[in-house]
Amino acid sequence: MTAIVVLFEVEQDEALGPDGVEPVVCAVHAAGGDPDVPEDPLPRTLCGLDTDPMEHSHYRPTRPGEPWYPPALADRRCLACEAALRAAP
């Protein structure tokens, strides 16, 4: 897999409010990037969830060896997505 898109699964019915309060991130998932529009995710995460209700994190590791997820959200990373990434050739 050449590119992944990191997505946030947020609490339902929460959106960026007018006061700028961020929604609560429940989980961080990974999806393959669309071959035609690499910034867009494929329809399913690597663990099989629908990507439509998720928010794009716009996170990218800046150097080799950094995690695929934002380090501050390590406790919320999807372990199934992580396993799929490790298994990818």
Per-residue pLDDT of the chain (89 residues; tens, 9 = 90+): 568 999 999 887 655 555 556 678 999 999 999 989 878 999 999 999 999 999 999 999 888 889 999 999 999 999 999 999 999 77
Q: By the 8 A CB rule, do 46 and 6 touch?
A: no
Q: Is 72 exposed, middle or buried (0-12, 13-18, 19+ CB in 10 A)?
A: exposed
- Global confidence as pTM: 0.85
Give the C-alpha distances (Å, rounded to integers) separating 5 from 14, 21, 52: 21, 23, 13
| Token representation of residue 52 | 């439509």
Q: Do residues 85 and 3 lie in contact, with contact meaning Cβ atoms separated by under 8 Å?
A: no
Compute the residue count for the chain: 89
